[in-house]
A = this chain, B = another copy of it.
Amino acid sequence: MIQTLHKKSTTRRSYYRAVPPREQNLKIIPLGGLEEVGRNMTVFEYGQDIVVIDMGLQFPEEDMPGIDYIIPNTAYLQEKAKNIRGVIITHGHYDHIGAIPHIMPKIGNPPIYTAALTAAIIKKRQEDYPNGTHLNFKVVRKKDRLRLGCFEAEFFRLNHNIPDSLGVALHTPVGTVVYTGDFKFDHSPVGDEPADIAHLAQLGARGVLLLMSDSTDADTPGYSISEKTIQDTLDDIFKNADGRIIAATFSSLISRLQELIYLAEKYHRKVVVDGYSMKTNVEIARNLGYLKVKKETLINIERLHDWPDNKILVLCTGAQGEGRAVLMRIVNKEHRFIRIKTGDTVIFSSSVIPGNERTVQHVKDTLSRHGAKIIHYQMMDVHAGGHAQVEDLKMMINLVRPKFFIPIHGNYYMLKLHAELARTVGVPEKNIVIPDNGQVVEVTAKNIRLTDKRAPTNYIMVDGLGIGDVGQVVLRDRQMMSKDGMFTIIVIIDGKTGKIIQDPDIISRGFIYMKESGELLAQTKRKVKQIIAQKTKETPINWAYIRSTLRDSIGQFLYSKTQRRPMILPVVIEV
């Protein structure tokens, strides 16, 4: 837990007090999103006022088997829940909204300030949690300004691969903090407006104390590609496709869906939207006017065969080879209406997330076997990242001209590269800090510094209904069992005589194929009996010691025979 430096204010806290006592600092506490990609959540605290930006989840790493996702630790906020004036959400992607259902009830359900599309996406997701909190939304528009305790928040328009992405200028008593969220500059976005560069320049002219900017693509040189360029590439694909086009992408990439729908309309193709999340997002975005689709364009999947193949576009999920997604069902011939055939063109319209390569490769192999033509971003650039690259990042810094700089959203390595960039465009090195997750940054009008105060930020893992109940012990056990399995030895002892009653039982899974390992098991049982016979001679009998001897000796024995180390679980039961 963190000690606050300033004395507890004795005057009644006022929402309208614009200038609190001089000695106070602005505290910035990143609860996630640094040292990682995902789990974005940042706390801004001044005196008795707190504003939170974003509340995201992170997907588990390879060494976290069975974990659904990870959410930020909010112990720091829970103690100060009454001070939270509002939660600002920059856009509707899971790494920025995913932890809302889990965290909101713990911090007193403060109001959420966000754009219309983002609010609708959050609301829809909340329905997956039947006992979830009823959230309190305040929909903001780009350029809105609102007061949150001693803070004033001003929004500005940026581009990303989902519409309604907001940047935030947080006017604090020590100065203005510009927080980009995920962004890129797109001067010719499709179905969206360009980033409001003039507004950013204006903010810069008014004076910005601190810029906190997206580092996700800080290691990619050049400018990010405009969606228009991608549109042209896709246009070529549509022009040349003889049969059906099946486009697999994330349902959250609303901008990409819009492009594909435009092209379908241009080339007189009907559009089938398939997959629960895809349908939901299309519906939400369409209802709010963020997705423009002619009435007659969308058709129900059941009517798919009423049109010739070259008049059909299928939009579906599964570009990452996700097990239950539509594309996987098509590939596995489990889809009710679609089988791949020669002439089909399948577009993979998102880059492969590390860890999914082999699954995606398998999907491509099967599609290819069934005669489909496959187009993915390596062969033809149908993918543009949603994030600013090196030149865009420099431009952001040059527009905003901040005194201080904190790179956000990314691993340390990316943050460091981004810090280097900031230095090359003129931010003095001493004015740039790279905090760790949880590390409290103190900012005044003159100074920025990393303190050694830390909010807890250990991983809170969500697994099924359990939140935070899977910790290091459980994970380590899962890892161990996944490598070499487990080996349970059950020994029944006569409580009166201290003698073993019958042959030990052995239950083993994931170690060796038991039916073919009779000899090894017989040897192991003999060894167990020897150990028990020997160790029960001593009185008083020390069962804990016997169990640990069994664990060590049998573990050693099995390793010598197999070079595997199953988890050994000796169970001694007295009857």
Contacts and interface: CB of A to CB of B under 8 A. Distances in A.
A337 interface: no
Contact of A66 (B365, B477, B485): B485
Contacts of A486: 481, 486, 509
Interface stretch (A153-161, A425-433, A560-568): A560-568
B379 A219 contact: yes
Interface string A365-386: 1111100001000110000000
A575 interface: yes
Contact of A507 (B465, B483, B516, B569): B569
A105 to B, nearest CB: 18
| Majority-rule SS of A interface residues | mixed
B470 A512 contact: yes
Nearest to A365: B412
A507 B488 contact: yes
A510 interface: yes
A56 to B, nearest CB: 18
A502 B574 CA distance: 10
A412 B368 contact: yes
Given A378-B219, A379-B219, A477-B510, A562 B485 contact: no
Contacts of A66: 482-485, 510, 564
B569 A474 contact: no
A18 interface: no
Interface stretch (A90-98, A309-317, A356-364): A356-364
B369 A470 contact: no
Contacts of A65: 482-483
A411 interface: yes
Interface in A333-365: 354-355, 357-359, 361, 364-365
Contacts of A501: 575
A362 to B, nearest CB: 8
Contacts of A474: 485, 509-513
A464 B507 contact: no
Nearest to A502: B575
Interface in A465-521: 465-466, 469-471, 473-475, 477-479, 481-486, 488, 490, 492, 501-502, 505, 507, 509-513, 516-517
A311 B562 CA distance: 46
A267 interface: no
Copy count, this protein chain: 2
Nearest to A509: B477
B478 A478 contact: no
Contact of A563 (B61, B464, B477, B573): B464
B511 A464 contact: no
A292 to B, nearest CB: 35
A243 to B, nearest CB: 17
A65 B509 CA distance: 13
Contacts of A511: 474
Contact of A35 (B61, B365, B416): B365
A568 to B, nearest CB: 11
A485 B481 contact: yes
Given A62-B358, A368-B413, A509-B481, A463 B564 contact: yes
Contacts of A509: 474, 477-478, 481, 486, 567, 569
Contacts of A374: 413
A510 B465 contact: no
B355 A562 contact: no
Contacts of A107: none
A476 to B, nearest CB: 9
Contacts of A463: 484, 562, 564
A571 interface: yes
A481 B510 CA distance: 8
A52 B368 CA distance: 29
A411 B359 CA distance: 12
A510 B365 contact: no
Contacts of A379: 219, 221
Interface in A436-480: 463-466, 469-471, 473-475, 477-479
Given A62-B355, A509-B486, A564 B365 contact: no
A299 to B, nearest CB: 30
A573 B474 CA distance: 28
Contacts of A567: 509
Contacts of A465: 561-563
A136 B474 CA distance: 50
A9 B564 CA distance: 47
Given A478-B485, A561-B465, A573 B513 contact: no
A474 B464 CA distance: 25
A365 B484 contact: no
B469 A516 contact: yes
A219 B510 CA distance: 37
Contacts of A61: 358
Given A355-B358, A368-B413, A492-B573, 10 more contacts: A65-B482, A354-B358, A355-B355, A364-B413, A463-B562, A474-B510, A486-B486, A486-B509, A490-B573, A575-B575
Chain A to chain B: the 7 pairs with minimum beta-carbon distance, closest first = A464-B563, A482-B482, A354-B357, A66-B483, A65-B482, A478-B510, A365-B412
